[in-house]
Structure 1
Amino acid sequence: MLGSLLFIVGILAALIGLGISIALHECGHLYFAKKFGLRVPQYMIGFGPTVWSKHRGETEYGVKLLPLGGYISMIGMYPPKPGQHAGEQATGFFSRMIEDGRQASAESIPEGEEHRAFYRLPVWKRLFIMAGGPAMNFVLAAIIFAFLGMVIGVYQPTTRVAEVYECVVPASERNNPDAATSCDDKAPGAQAGLKPGDVVTAVDGVAVDSWDGLQATIRESADTPLEFTIDRAGQTMTLTVTPRANEVYVTDPATGRILEDEQGNPKTQTVGFVGFTPQHERAQQGIDFVGEMYWQNLSGVYNVITTMPQRVVEMFQAGFLGAERDPYGPMSVVGVGRVTGEIVAQDAIPVLDRVATVIQIVGSLNVMLGAMNLIPLPPLDGGHIAATLWDGLRRWFAKLRGKPEPEPFDAAKLLPVTMVVAILLMAIGALFIFTDLVNPIQLFK
C-alpha cells in the first residue's frame, strides 16, 4: 500500500516539476513581451478546453485540460501581405491557410493598437521575446544542477574498496555460467589480500585521492607489480598487487553505459585489472558540475534529435511488436512520470537519494525543453527565431546596398510548414505515449 502511494507521489512530483517548467518557459516569453509593450491577450498552461482562467489587466491567465505544453498569444504575429487588395481571394489549400493566418493576425489587433503588433517590433526585441522561453529553462536547469551538486552533493567513486572479485573473467565471458562459477584464475586483488573496506591511500609511494587516478594507474600497469598502501580499520598496511591484462567493456564516463561498435556489439579493451569495485560516497561539487550536467544532457538531446527516425522505428517496434525497450532511449511525459514513480517507491533507496534523483530529472527536463524548442522549425520557438533572423538579415543587406528597408518578412508563408511539423510532432508524441503505456521502461525488475 505504501509503495503504491509513493509511486503516485513520484508521478505527481514529475508532473508538477514539468508543469512548473512549462509555466516558467512561458513566463520567459511573457516577461520580454510585456517589457517591450507587446499586447498579450492570453497566457495559458496546457491545451484544449480551459479549466480555470482569470483576467488581469489586458491578459487572461489560465490552465487548460491537457498539460502537454503552454503558450502566450501575441497580437499581430504576421504582417499583411504586401500589395494585397481588399476582397482579394486566395485559391488553393495552402494559400487559403496562409491567408487565414494573416486574417486572424489582423483581427487580433484592436483598433488603435497597431503599434503594439509583434511584427512591428525591432528584430532584436522579437529575438528576446522568442528566446526568453528556452532561456528561462536553461537558467532553471542551472539553478537545479547547482543546488544538486553544491548543496545535496552527488555520488562519486572513492578509493575505498566496496567489493573484491575472486576471479578474472573477461568481458566476453561474463554471461557464461561456467566462467562465473569456476575460479582457476584468481583475481590479483583477492590474491594479494585486498578486502572490502580497505582504503587505498598511495601506489608505489605516490598518494592517491581519487578513483579516476587510481583506476588510470592500474589500467596502465598490466603485469607490473604495484605497492598499495592501504588503511584497514585505522591501521596502515602495504600489499603488493600485480594487475593482470584483462578484457573489459568500454563505458560512457558520464552515464556508465556500455558503448557499442558500428555492428551493435559491445566495445571492449584490454587493460590492467586488479578486481575490485570502488565504494561510492556523496560529495559536494564545485560550480563546474553545472557545466558537466549541461554537457551530458545536451549531448543526450542532440543524440535523440539526430537519430529521431531510428528512435521512431524502435518505439514502433517496442509498442506494437513487443521489442525490448532501450533503457537509455527517449520517453514521453508518461514514461518520465512512471520512472519517477518507480524511483520514489523504492524503500531500499535512501530518501535523500530519491529526492536528489527527482530533482535531477526535473533539471534534465528543463534542458530538454530549452534545447528542443530551439530547433529552427515552426511552430517551435526556434522557427520564430530563424524567421526573425532572416528578416533582420534582409534589412541589413538592404541597408548595406543602400536600398530602402524591405517590408517585414511574410512569416505567414511558413504556416504550411508549421502544420506539417505540428502533425509530425503530435504523431511522434502519441507513439511515445502509447509505447510508454504498453511497454514501459522498467528500472527495477
Structure 2
Amino acid sequence: MTVLLTLLGIVLFAVGLLVSIAWHELGHLSTAKLFGIRVPQYMVGFGPTLWSKRKGETEYGIKAIPAGGYIRMIGMFPPGKDGRVEARSTSPWRSMIEDAREASFEELQPGDEKRLFYTRKPWKRVIVMFAGPFMNLILAVLLFFGSAMAVGFETQTTKVAGVTNCVIDQSEKRDTCKPGDRPSPAKAAGLLEGDRIVAFNGERVSDWNTLSERIRATTGPATVTVQRGGEERELRATLLENRVPKKDADGNVVQPVQYVTAGYLGFESGREVVPLTFGESASRMTDQLQAGAEAVLALPGKIPDLWDATFGDGERKQDSPVGVVGAARISGELMNIDAPPQTILVFFLQLVVMFNVSLFLFNMLPLLPLDGGHIAGALWESVRRHTARIFKRPDPGPFDVAKLMPVAYVVAGVFVCFTLLVLAADIVNPVKLT
C-alpha cells in the first residue's frame, strides 16, 4: 500500500508539473497570436514527440521529457546586415549568433514578413514574454487562495492537547519529571486536555500566537478562561518563570534554537486545520513570494553545501534547492504521512504552488535564454528608440538580441550544471519531508 501511495503521489506531481508547464506556454501562445505573430509549434516537454496534432497553423504536442516546454515563434531575432543571415566566420561566438538567427527564420513562409516577433513594438514583445511567467503566478495565487480559504492549514490553536505535570527547563529537552521539579501552573489550576482557552486575564484570545505572547509576558497570578463541556469556566493559575525557546515577530521559533526566560503555564497546544481569511491568505502569499525571491537570489551561496551533501558527508539541509525528482519524491512521501486527507491535499497543492512561484521568479531573471532576458532586450530597445527620438537622432532600429547568444549559452551551461548537481543530490541525499 505504501508503494502504491508513493507512486500515486509521484504521478500526481507529474500531472501538476505538466499542467504548470502547459499553462506557462499557453500565456506565450495566446498573446503571440493576439499580436499576429505566427506560432508554428506549441510543445510541452523536450525530446522525442509522443503525440502531436496540427490545428490551423500551429502544431500542438507532448514530448517525452516533462522538464519544460516551448512555443516556436517566427522571427525571434532581427535579420543580419544581408537581410537574413550574416556571413559566417571562424569565430565560434559569431557561429552561435548566426545559428540562432538562422533558426528563427527556418519556417518562414510567404506572407510572414509582417508576422515576425522582432517586428512587434517593444511593449507587445514584453507582454508576450511576460505572459508565460505571469500565468504561473496566476495559477500559484489561485491554488494558494483556494486551498487556504476553502480548507486551510494545520496550525497551533488555543485548544489544550495535553497538560505537563511539572516545570521543566525546555533547554534540557527531557519529558519526565525529576524529584524537586515544581508542579506546572496549568496542572495546579485544573486545566484539562480538551479545554479550549478563550480568554487570558479577562482578555479574549482566539489564536495561539496571541495567547502565547500573553502567557510569556506574565508571571504570578492570572485567570485562564476555558470552554469545557459547552460552557465557560474561569481557572486561577500562578504562572512561573521558565526557560523556553525564543520566538520571532511572527511567532515562529528562532533557528537555531535560542532560549529565553519567560512566563510559563505548562500545556501543549492542539493543532487543527483552520481556514484563512482573504486578508490572511494575501499576507501569507506575499510572504511566500518574498521568501521565494530571496531563495532564488541565495541559490549561488547554497552550491557548496549542496556539493558537500552530494559528494561528501555533509547534511542535506531542509532549505536546500530541490529539483523535479526531489519534488516528486516529496509528493510521494506526502501520500504516506499520518494526517487527514484535507491536510495532505493542501500540502500537495502547496508543493505545486511553490513550483509555480519558482517558475515565475526564475523566468523573470534578466538573462537569456530565460523570458526575462528577452524582456530586458525589448525594454532596452524601447529606451534606445525613445532616447533617439528625444535627441532627434536616427532610429537605431531593433536591438539585436541574437548578439547575446554567447552569453545565453554560458548561462544555459551554468543552469544545466546546477540542475545536474541538484538531480544528483535528490537521488543520493534527498530532502526528507519528515
Task: Check the 8 A contact 1:254/1:296 in 2, yes or no.
Answer: no
Cα separation, 1, equivalents of 2:396 and 2:47: 38
Cα separation, 2, equivalents of 1:87 and 1:143: 47
163-172 or 139-148, which deviates more: 163-172
Cα separation, 2, equivalents of 1:234 and 1:85: 81
Cα separation, 1, equivalents of 2:343 and 2:150: 13
Change in Cα spacing, 1:251 to 1:109, as seen in structure 2 (3 Å) is farther
* Corresponding position: 1:211 with 2:181: no
284-293 or 380-389, which deviates more: 284-293
394-403 or 183-192, which deviates more: 183-192
| 1:62-87 alpha-carbon deviations (Å, 9 max, x no partner) | 11111100111111111123478987
* Corresponding position: 1:239 with 2:235: yes
Aligned position for 1:306: 297
Cα separation, 2, equivalents of 1:195 and 1:120: 73
Indicate the SS of the match to 1:168: coil
Task: Check the 8 A contact 2:209/2:251 in 1, yes or no.
Answer: no
Q: 2:383 aligns with which of 362, 368, 393?
A: 393
Indicate the SS of the match to 1:241: strand
299-308 or 111-120, which deviates more: 299-308
Which amino acid counterpart does residue 187 of structure 1 have in structure 2? S
Aligned position for 2:56: 57
Which amino acid counterpart does residue 218 of structure 1 have in structure 2? I
Indicate the SS of the match to 2:105: helix
Change in Cα spacing, 1:163 to 1:20, as seen in structure 2 (3 Å) is same
Task: Check the 8 A contact 1:322/1:439 in 2, yes or no.
Answer: no
Aligned position for 2:342: 352
Change in Cα spacing, 1:53 to 1:225, as seen in structure 2 (3 Å) is same
Aligned position for 2:30: 31
**Number of aligned residue pairs:** 433
Change in Cα spacing, 1:316 to 1:128, as seen in structure 2 (3 Å) is same
Cα separation, 1, equivalents of 2:35 and 2:410: 31
Distance apart, 1:113 and its partner CA: 0.8
Cα separation, 2, equivalents of 1:377 and 1:73: 19
Change in Cα spacing, 1:131 to 1:87, as seen in structure 2 (3 Å) is closer
Distance apart, 1:46 and its partner CA: 0.8
Alignment of structure 1 residues 286-305 onto 2, 5 Å: 286-305=277-296
Change in Cα spacing, 1:378 to 1:86, as seen in structure 2 (3 Å) is closer
Which amino acid counterpart does residue 259 of structure 1 have in structure 2? V
Alignment of structure 1 residues 257-336 onto 2, 5 Å: 258-260=253-255, 265-336=256-327
Distance apart, 1:336 and its partner CA: 0.8
Which amino acid counterpart does residue 72 of structure 1 have in structure 2? I
* Corresponding position: 1:377 with 2:367: yes
Alignment of structure 1 residues 95-134 onto 2, 5 Å: 95-134=94-133
Aligned position for 2:189: 192
Distance apart, 1:210 and its partner CA: 2.3
Length-normalised TM-score, structure 2: 0.93
Aligned position for 1:152: 151
Cα separation, 1, equivalents of 2:246 and 2:257: 8
309-318 or 408-417, which deviates more: 309-318
Cα separation, 2, equivalents of 1:363 and 1:270: 38
Cα separation, 1, equivalents of 2:84 and 2:425: 50
Distance apart, 1:27 and its partner CA: 0.3
| 1:237-286 alpha-carbon deviations (Å, 9 max, x no partner) | 32222333333334567795x534xxxx4344433222223222223322
Q: 2:414 aligns with which of 424, 432, 442?
A: 424
Which amino acid counterpart does residue 124 of structure 1 have in structure 2? W
Cα separation, 2, equivalents of 1:106 and 1:255: 57
Which amino acid counterpart does residue 146 of structure 1 have in structure 2? F
Task: Check the 8 A contact 1:142/1:290 in 2, yes or no.
Answer: no
Change in Cα spacing, 1:359 to 1:252, as seen in structure 2 (3 Å) is farther
Indicate the SS of the match to 1:431: helix
Which amino acid counterpart does residue 331 of structure 2 have in structure 1? T
Q: 2:328 aligns with which of 324, 328, 337?
A: 337
Length-normalised TM-score, structure 1: 0.91
Cα separation, 2, equivalents of 1:361 and 1:182: 43
Structure 1 unaligned blocks of 5 or more: none
Change in Cα spacing, 1:310 to 1:244, as seen in structure 2 (3 Å) is farther
Cα separation, 2, equivalents of 1:422 and 1:87: 24
Cα separation, 2, equivalents of 1:136 and 1:319: 34
Change in Cα spacing, 1:292 to 1:364, as seen in structure 2 (3 Å) is farther
8-17 or 225-234, which deviates more: 225-234
Distance apart, 1:303 and its partner CA: 2.8
Cα separation, 2, equivalents of 1:392 and 1:169: 66
291-300 or 379-388, which deviates more: 291-300
Indicate the SS of the match to 1:79: coil
Distance apart, 1:191 and its partner CA: 3.2
Cα separation, 1, equivalents of 2:86 and 2:350: 56
| 1:208-259 alpha-carbon deviations (Å, 9 max, x no partner) | 22222212211222x2321112222234332222333333334567795x53
Task: Check the 8 A contact 1:21/1:137 in 2, yes or no.
Answer: yes
Which amino acid counterpart does residue 212 of structure 2 have in structure 1? Q
* Corresponding position: 1:412 with 2:419: no
Which amino acid counterpart does residue 16 of structure 2 have in structure 1? G
